[in-house]
A and B are shown apart, each in its own frame.
Chain A
Amino acid sequence: MSSSERPSRRGIFGVLLNAVAGVMLAVPILRYLFSPVARDRKPGYRAWVSLGSVEQFPAGQTRFATYRNPVVTPSDGDTASIACWVRNIDGKQFQIFAINCAHLGCPVRWFPQSNLFMCPCHGGAYYADGSRASGPPERGLFECRYKVDGGNLFIEAGDMPTPGAPGALASLSVRRPPCA
């Protein structure tokens, strides 16, 4: 740049050129970085997954079930296998609870003898219907949507439920989270 006080035309051009390059780089970089947030708009992200025949879940009992997450990447390994608790209330109606404690997400265990779910992390406890019994959780277990189709029980799967209140971004999206 010359020694004059006003920036030269060449200087302005240089700054502009770099600004354009910056924007052209920034847009894809931001899209890449924030892709996990935008992902739920893609089809197939949430899907109905079979938990197997209804007969595996006898009436009046709560049983352990696992399924593969509907979206899997090659590096997921075992982490794409998800567990849940299936309660067959009366032979017709079911409740499917996410494995995650509503306090901080640790895996709750079902104790059929005392009809309680207990969490190993901070001692949260829930009744058979998933409602809060004691401990630090503020609410009951996360209950997932289900359907029975052709003798098979299906869970709507796709994301790990977390205790935060659904935010503004979630309410903008068309569908509620499947486990809430």
Chain B
Amino acid sequence: MRLMGKVGRWFDDRLQLGRPVMQTMAHPVPRQTASWFYVFGSAALTVFGLQVVTGILLAILYVPSAGEAWNILQVLNHQVPAGWFIRALHGWGSNFMLAIVLIHMVQVFLFGAYKFPRELTWIVGVLLLLMTLGMAFTGQVLRFDQDAYWGLGIGASIASRVPLLGPALVNLLLGGPIIAGATLSRFFALHVFVIPGLLIAFVGLHLLLVLKLGINEWPMPGRIVRRATYLEEYHELTRRDGIPFVPGAVWKDVIFSGFVLLSIVACAVVLGPFGPGGQPDPTIIQTAPHPDYFFLWLYALLSFLPPAAETPILLIGPAVGLAVLIALPFLAGEGEKSWKRRPIAVLTLLLAAVALGTLTHLGGYTPWSPVMDAWSGEPIPQQYLKGRTALERHGALVFQLKQCHNCHSLDGRGGERGPALDRVAVGLTQDQLIRQVVQGGGNMPAYGKNLSPAETTALVAFLETLRPAGQAPARNASQATILEPPP
């Protein structure tokens, strides 16, 4: 013991870090911030540490070569002892990190912590969010499978829409004119060197700011932030009712971080690593590319934007969103901190959460995509064939053979790109059905050239049977008036 003390003193005589470190650890924080609401920042840092460690472990074996990466991931999953576990930890760690960063951001927003004097802390935090998203996207590319390959294609297609510079940006992004070896190695450099380096620097800055400015006090309704008086009030609060950060407040951070780490381990053990999916061979086109969970909302949004508005929204939207986040502490740097007195802030947050949640949910089952094998894999429900005429049954066959089922569901099976057709005859008359099939429209291709008159007749005869029992088919009232003069 005495020897250790001696060695410690020897180092501290030279480093002279002991006192500042002790002072920092014991700095007073407002008593009420020793709360379970204040644990997310430290948890994000813990998960970041886990990502660094598992990332280095993976880099020991990973080869950033488009020809070999996928095979190496198979080796990691199946041959290297615990390789699958390290991959699973890194993959689940990534999801947890994004989730915790978002929760941290929501808490900071609701508690008004971005207000004076912590504007810069917030802005650095926004940049950290961007970098975390950047890590998630580049990491998804390093899991070099079909989703990664076509995801890069989506990224390149978006980049190409930038006016004037688009084609050059595509080449810069891909490292050449196609997605290939040079693409993977540059995403490797981004994921392993560039973005982590920036992350470490900005996390340091973020922490420094938290220490210099002090942790945000618990917001009280009616306690108004004013630039002139805030700093004095805050110091008075910590003097009057402060506790040392260590050990007063830190134990909740430690417990929560441990809980998060255990949760990641549990997910990794139970659910395993992510992929890799199919081989990144662009000649295998039997694939339905899908981004990772935290980009599903964007994937969904891209299918709903009207074609003409897509490019401007894609290019301007992120810039506006970023500008709003950065401007927030300047637009609302003073005033109420408590969410109980900030209804618009709460509603904005709810709106964003509902929008992102809905889009993510939709992105999970992609109702806008044709179900590519429904025409051969999903039979026509029996009740739609029983007691039908030969012509109507032939129409059902046309319905399958012409892949109508890929976009239109019957009895809940098949594609959801177009409307379900179980009740189509209630809404459309025979003439309207023929017109819709032949000319298309309303986001449906025209089938006029692909159907013989006999096929069209049969198909429409089948469609006319699609109505619930007891409901009358649609009729053209004016036609009826002309053809059947009133008695």
Residues in chain A within 8 A of chain B (CB atoms):
34, 36-37, 39-40, 45, 64, 66, 69, 71-83, 99-100, 103-109, 111, 113-116, 118, 120-123, 125, 127-128, 133-138, 158-160, 162-170, 177
Contacts and interface: CB of A to CB of B under 8 A. Distances in A.
B164 A82 contact: no
A114 B150 contact: no
B411 interface: no
B143 to A, nearest CB: 15
16 contacts: A37-B171, A75-B64, A104-B154, A105-B153, A105-B156, A114-B402, A114-B447, A120-B288, A120-B289, A121-B150, A134-B444, A136-B305, A137-B307, A164-B157, A167-B162, A177-B167
Contacts of B163: 165, 167
B308 A45 contact: no
Contacts, number: 220
Given A37-B172, A123-B303, A138-B308, A82 B445 contact: no
B283 A82 contact: yes
Taking chain A's interface residues, is the majority helix, strand, or loop, or is none over half, making it mixed? loop
Contacts of B303: 121-123, 136
Contacts of B417: 123
Interface in B154-184: 154, 156-168, 170-172, 174-184
B369 A164 contact: no
B16 interface: no
Contacts of B183: 79
Contacts of A66: 283
Contacts of A169: 164-165, 167-168
B302 interface: yes
Nearest to A77: B67
A114 B403 contact: yes
A118 B417 CA distance: 11
Contact of B401 (A69, A73, A113, A133): A113
Contacts of A135: 368, 443
B164 A136 contact: no
Contacts of B178: 69, 79-80, 82, 158-160
B180 A76 contact: yes
A116 B440 contact: no
Given A73-B180, A114-B450, A167-B163, A136 B310 contact: yes
B168 A159 contact: no
A121 B289 contact: yes
A109 B403 CA distance: 13
B66 to A, nearest CB: 5
Contacts of A99: 282, 285
B317 to A, nearest CB: 15
Contacts of B279: 78
B68 interface: yes
Given A34-B172, A136-B302, A167-B167, A160 B185 contact: no
Interface string B301-321: 011010110100000000000
A134 B447 CA distance: 12
Contacts of B430: none
Contacts of A168: 164
The 7 closest A-B pairs by CB, nearest first: A77-B67, A164-B160, A75-B181, A159-B177, A105-B153, A162-B160, A133-B445
B368 A109 contact: no
B310 A116 contact: no
A165 B282 contact: no
A79 B180 contact: yes
Given A78-B280, A114-B402, A103 B176 contact: no
Given A99-B285, A125-B445, 13 more contacts: A76-B181, A78-B283, A79-B149, A79-B180, A82-B178, A111-B406, A114-B450, A122-B302, A123-B370, A125-B370, A136-B302, A136-B307, A165-B166
